[in-house]
């Protein structure tokens, strides 16, 4: 009996240390939990001068949201096969963040889930790799900066300065986040690319003035699964940051190109957001 207990304890300790080494979020981090407070989801419609149509996004408000407080904002972007509901349906950021709030492990923030395919028909249908559809992901820069952010800032109680804006995304959305984030450091100080796609600019274009960027970046997060065919893009970006001494976090984790990896990324990334001196 005593021996059995000893074996069980050893197994528990071994499992715990493996998790720490691999950076896996704790079991249940992405599960709906009935016994805790939940955030609120809104769907919004805004006028896009960039695209010339009304566009849609989803907004997650933290469980303790109050209109008379002001919040930092994370803009969280989807991949090439997704839309404004992709994160919600497959990544469950609401559950992940609700659970983190219950443990008081993240700062209060509003999360905006936009549609990053900035064209009139922004559904992920037909040939999602078509030239015009891929170009629409680049076109989203104007929509985000000139249409969506101003709409959010007049509709919600938010802190509207660079140190209270974060931009992150998965795959195509990771490339967008690195391109638009590092390209607009006057707007964003917290930037995350999860398994970033080939739309990521070449490093010298991405960050032509690394010396200046060093002072501006609060957090630059670059992550990818070790079995992802796109890993070399994250490594290319990381190598440039190392060469130019730009502080960043490079998080290589077990996994492929899927939501198992991206949920884990969101868990870890969101814990660093809006915490001063998060950059390593
Ligand atoms: C590509 C490979 C992958 C590409 C985009 C992706 C535009 C995007 C993948 C995703 O968002 O999941 O060559 O070119």
* Ligand 1 contact, 199 CB (< 6 A): yes
Dist CA 256 CA 273 (whole Å): 25
- In Å, what is the CA distance from 44 to each residue of 7, 98, 109, 169, 200? 53, 21, 17, 19, 28
* Ligand 1 contact, 176 CB (< 6 A): no
Closest by CA to 149, choosing from 46, 266, 219, 41, is 46
Dist CA 212 CA 214 (whole Å): 5
State the average pLDDT for the chain.
93
Average pLDDT score over residue span 152-157: 98
Helix H segments across the chain? 2-22, 86, 93-102, 131-143, 149-155, 172-183, 203-206, 210-216, 231-243, 259-272
* pLDDT digits 0-9 by tens, 223-237: 999 999 999 999 999
Q: Tell me which residue has its CA closest to atom 1 in ligand 1.
A: 198
pLDDT (0 to 100) of residue 22: 52
Taking 70 as the threshold, does the pLDDT of residue 43 lie above it?
Answer: yes
Q: How many helices (H) and strands (E) does the chain have?
A: 10, 8
pLDDT (0 to 100) of residue 277: 78
Dist CA 128 CA 195 (whole Å): 18
Ligand 1 centroid–CA 138 distance in Å is: 13
Q: Which atom of ligand 1 approaches the CA of 80 most closely? A: 11
If you ran DSSP here, which 8-state letter would residue 161 be given?
S
Ligand 1 centroid–CA 78 distance in Å is: 11
* pLDDT digits 0-9 by tens, 111-146: 999 999 999 999 999 999 999 999 999 999 999 999
Q: Which residues pair with 251 in a beta bridge?
A: 223
* Ligand 1 contact, 77 CB (< 6 A): no
If you ran DSSP here, which 8-state letter would residue 153 be given?
H
Ligand 1 centroid–CA 235 distance in Å is: 16
Q: Assign a CATH topology to domain 2-14+35-272.
A: Rossmann fold (3.40.50)
pLDDT (0 to 100) of residue 65: 98
Q: Tell me which residue has its CA closest to atom 6 in ligand 1.
A: 197
In the chain, % of residues over pLDDT 70: 91
Q: Which atom of ligand 1 approaches the CA of 173 most closely? A: 11
For the beta carbon of residue 159, count every other beta carbon within 10 angstroms.
Answer: 16
The single residue listed with the structure tokens 């805790």 is 36
Helix H segments across 23-53? none
Q: Tell me which residue has its CA closest to atom 5 in ligand 1.
A: 197
Dist CA 57 CA 250 (whole Å): 29
Task: List the domain boundaries for the chain.
Answer: 2-14+35-272
Ligand 1 centroid–CA 172 distance in Å is: 6
Ligand 1 centroid–CA 5 distance in Å is: 49
* Ligand 1 contact, 261 CB (< 6 A): no
Query: Is the separation of the CB atoms in 251 and 222 below 8 Å?
Result: yes
Task: Output the six-digit token pair for 25.
Answer: 């979020």
Which of 130, 138, 140, 171 gets mutated to test ligand 1 (max ligand atoms within 8 A of its CB)? 171
- Does this model's pTM top 0.85? My answer is yes
* pLDDT digits 0-9 by tens, 158-197: 999 999 999 999 999 999 999 999 999 999 999 999 999 9
Query: Is the separation of the CB atoms in 234 and 222 below 8 Å?
Result: yes
Task: Output the six-digit token pair for 140.
Answer: 């989203």
φ, ψ of residue 164 in degrees (nearest 5): -120, 20
């Amino acid at each position: 009996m005593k021996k059995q207990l000893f074996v069980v304890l050893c197994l528990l300790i071994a499992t715990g240390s493996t998790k720490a080494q691999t950076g896996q979020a704790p079991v249940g981090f992405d599960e709906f939990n009935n016994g805790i407070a939940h955030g609120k989801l809104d769907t919004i419609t805004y006028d896009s001068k960039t695209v010339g149509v009304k566009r849609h996004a989803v907004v997650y408000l933290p469980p303790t949201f109050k209109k008379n407080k002001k919040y930092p904002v994370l803009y969280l972007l989807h991949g090439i096969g997704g839309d404004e509901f992709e994160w919600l349906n497959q990544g469950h950021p609401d559950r992940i963040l609700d659970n983190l709030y219950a443990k008081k492990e993240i700062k209060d923030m509003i999360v905006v889930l936009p549609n990053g395919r900035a064209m009139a028909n922004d559904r992920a249908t037909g040939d999602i790799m078509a030239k015009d559809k891929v170009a629409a992901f680049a076109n989203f820069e104007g929509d985000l900066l000139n249409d969506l952010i101003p709409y959010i800032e007049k509709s919600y109680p938010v802190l509207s300065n660079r140190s209270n804006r974060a931009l992150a995304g998965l795959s195509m959305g990771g490339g967008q986040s690195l391109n638009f984030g590092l390209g607009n450091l006057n707007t964003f100080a917290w930037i995350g690319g999860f398994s970033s796609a080939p739309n990521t600019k070449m490093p010298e274009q991405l960050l032509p003035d690394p010396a200046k960027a060093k002072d501006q970046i609060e957090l630059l997060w670059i992550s990818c699964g070790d079995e992802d065919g796109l890993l070399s893009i994250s490594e290319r970006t990381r190598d440039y940051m190392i060469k130019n001494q730009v502080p960043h976090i490079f998080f290589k984790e077990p996994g492929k190109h899927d939501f198992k990896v991206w949920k884990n990324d969101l868990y870890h990334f969101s814990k660093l957001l809006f915490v001063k001196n998060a950059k390593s």
